[in-house]
């Protein structure tokens, strides 16, 4: 009787799909965003507007737990000091600030440096207007030792800029682009990593739909894209090879999402059958990456 029950269980298991053993995915990363430093010709109010827009863009991704230093008593610098012509928004000892942020739970820190914010007067068809241009750099820092994880420079002008009837309006319209720029920034520096739970559907030996162990608590959204890697050990080191690509079809829970296999269905199926470890990593949502990859 015991053998029969075991046999029935195995049949049901195989019909449910090909499964993988997996580790629990990590939760959201806690990130602190510091005040932005600025050049002397960048008005304080404009820089504050840009910083608030960057915060809005990062929060919309729902990928990390974002903490504004302005909400922390131990880190807050009064606006009167930050707006002074003699301060570039953070004259306090930077390593001391990093130490405090780490104590408050920061795993990463985002800092900003605004290099230019201008609004040039132009005419078109006999009518005058102001054309905005904004340039700034964001850095991702490890608070434990101050190590620079990465840096990315943004330029909003021309097609990605904005216009207005006065300088303030032109700048306000220009910095709106920062919301969309944060998509790639977050995808580049705060990636989601997980694995495939099981194959939901297959056809002719190719996986068509799979379940992954990432969901709403990780910031996964519909249409999010992932790269699939097969993992193996070489001389004590982890080696990975891209074998496929996925697009999220539906987020079905805190830690589960249904994905459509866009590429590599046969390779994914083979890796799962061979019980080869699989890792999935989120990738950037750029136009080129979203359409052609």
Residue 19 pLDDT: 56
Residue 95: which residues within 8 A CB-CB, separation 6 or more?
A: 146
Collapse the DSSP code of 199 into the 3-class scheme (helix H, G, I; strand E, B; otherwise coil) and give the result: strand
Q: Greatest CA separation found in the chain? A: 92
Task: Return the minimum-mean-pLDDT range out of 149-158, 224-233, 277-286.
Answer: 277-286
User: What CATH architecture does domain 191-292 belong to?
Assistant: Beta Barrel (2.40)
With 60 as the cut, is the pLDDT of residue 79 above it?
Answer: yes
Is pLDDT larger for residue 41 or for residue 261? Answer: 261
Tens-place pLDDT, residues 11-61: 333 334 455 555 566 679 999 999 999 988 899 999 999 999 999 999 999
**pLDDT value for 85:** 53
Helix (H) or strand (E) holding 56: helix 44-61
Domain spans of the chain, in order of start:
29-189, 191-292
| pTM of the complete model beyond 0.75 | yes
d(C-alpha 134, C-alpha 291), whole Å: 28
Q: Is the pLDDT of residue 76 over 70?
A: yes
Q: Which CATH number fits domain 29-189: 3.40.50.1000, 3.30.1200.10, 3.30.499.10, 3.40.50.10610?
A: 3.40.50.10610
Q: Is pLDDT larger for residue 269 or for residue 89?
A: 269
Whether the per-residue pLDDT at 89 is higher than 80: the answer is no
Task: Report which DSSP code applies to 96.
Answer: H
What are the structure tokens assigned to 134, written together? 């904004």
Residue 144 confidence (pLDDT):
92
- Name the token pair of 14: 């195989």
Q: What is the distance of C-alpha 219 from the center of its chain?
A: 9
Ranges of beta strands (E only) in the chain are 29-38, 64-68, 108-124, 127-141, 148-156, 163-164, 193-194, 196-203, 206-212, 225-234, 237-253, 256-263, 278-282
Higher pLDDT, 226 or 22: 226
As a whole number, mean pLDDT of residues 109-136 equals 95
């Amino acid at each position: 009787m015991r053998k029969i029950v075991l046999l029935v269980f195995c049949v049901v298991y195989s019909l449910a799909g090909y499964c993988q053993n997996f580790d629990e995915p990590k939760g959201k990363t806690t990130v602190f965003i510091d005040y932005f430093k600025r050049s002397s010709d960048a008005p304080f109010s404009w820089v504050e507007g840009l910083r608030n827009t960057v915060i809005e863009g990062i929060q919309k991704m729902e990928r990390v737990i974002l903490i504004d230093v302005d909400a922390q008593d131990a880190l807050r610098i009064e606006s009167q000091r930050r707006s002074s012509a003699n301060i570039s928004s953070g004259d306090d000892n930077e390593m001391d600030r990093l130490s405090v942020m780490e104590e408050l739970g920061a795993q990463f820190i985002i800092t900003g440096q605004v290099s230019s914010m201008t609004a040039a007067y132009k005419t078109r068809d006999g009518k005058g207007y102001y054309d905005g241009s904004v340039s700034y750099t964001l850095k991702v820092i490890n608070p434990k030792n101050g190590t620079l994880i990465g840096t990315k420079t943004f330029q909003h002008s021309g097609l990605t800029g904005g216009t207005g009837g006065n300088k303030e309006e032109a700048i306000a319209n220009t910095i709106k682009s920062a919301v969309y720029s944060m998509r790639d920034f977050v995808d580049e520096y705060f990636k989601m990593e997980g694995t495939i739970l099981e194959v939901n559907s297959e056809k002719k030996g190719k996986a068509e739909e799979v379940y992954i162990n990432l969901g709403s608590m990780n910031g996964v959204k519909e249409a999010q894209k992932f790269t699939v890697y097969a993992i193996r050990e070489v001389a004590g080191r982890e080696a990975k090879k891209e074998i496929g690509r996925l697009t999220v079809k539906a987020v079905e829970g805190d830690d589960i999402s249904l994905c459509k296999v866009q590429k590599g269905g046969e390779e994914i199926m083979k890796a799962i059958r061979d019980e080869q470890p699989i890792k999935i990593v989120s990738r950037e949502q750029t136009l080129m990456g979203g359409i052609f990859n």
